[in-house]
Amino acid sequence: MDREAALALCRGKTRKETTLRHLISVEGVMRALARRFGEDEDLWGLTGLFHDLDQDVTGEDGVGHAEVAAGWLREAGVDERVINGVLAHAFPEYRTDRMSRAIVHADAVAGLLVAAALVRPERASGMKVSSVRKKLKERAFAPGVNREEILGVEEGIGLPLEEFLAVAIEGLQAVAPEIGL
């Protein structure tokens, strides 16, 4: 599935603009991580783009989250590796390879980066690792962001935290114009 078709599917399945922007931000981070590891950028990007596809349907209680999305994606003929990655962000038993572990860290860091960008006049542009580290320590800032999923990145995918943040910032910046950042 090419990116245009993937985005059209996201637009069709999401109801909130914030959900769509979140999907694109995680896509950006996943693409940058794939580049860093010499992996398949499109496959990793699709996993980011689709990971919360059913967010606006499954709602706050989270029942069926990721499983509903997996069903839609299967119907649409999306690569099983992407579907596994989507399931992996919600269910640890699917975290079977680097991509399916990376989505957990990408999801969390994208949340932090978007929140950090929103409080800067220049948004994502010129964002520094050091300032993101500060926001990471400031637990009252974006309290919904799971810090452990960011801090565990080296254990998860073998990337030191500093480098992960740098790669993630670059990934967010690549999609920033699309999401108003």
Return the number of the residue (27 or 107) whose C-beta is nearest Fe ion.
Answer: 107
* 170 makes contact with Fe ion (CB under 5 A): no
**CB closer to Fe ion out of 22 and 123:** 22
Q: Output 114 or 159, the one with its CB closest to Fe ion.
A: 114
Among the candidate windows 52-60, 69-77, 121-129, 140-148, which touches Fe ion by CB under 5 A? 52-60
Instruction: State CA 28 to chain mean position distance.
Output: 7
Contacts with Fe ion: how many residues (CB under 5 A)? 2
Helices (H) and strands (E) in the chain, counts: 11, 0
Among 27, 52, 149, 170, the residue binding Fe ion under the rule CB under 5 A is 52
Taking the least distance from each CB to Fe ion, the nearer of 126 and 143 is: 143
Q: Among residues 91, 47, 46, which one has the least CA distance to residue 65?
A: 91
Q: Which of the ranges 47-55, 93-101, 123-131, 166-174 carries the binding residues for Fe ion, by CB under 5 A?
A: 47-55
Q: Quick check: 27 binds Fe ion (CB under 5 A)? A: no
Taking the complex as a whole, how short is the minimal distance between the CB of residue 103 and Fe ion, in angstroms?
Answer: 9
Q: Would you say 108 or 136 has its CB closer to Fe ion? A: 108
User: Which of 146, 149, 124, 157 lies closest to 44 in space, CA to CA?
Assistant: 157
Q: What are phi and psi of 158, to 5 degrees?
A: 75, 20
Pinpoint the alpha helices (H) of 38-97.
Answer: 41-50, 55-58, 67-75, 80-88
175 and 25 in contact (C-beta within 8 Å)?
yes
Three-state secondary-structure class, residue 139: coil
The residues of the shown chain that bind Fe ion, judged by CB under 5 A, are: 52, 107
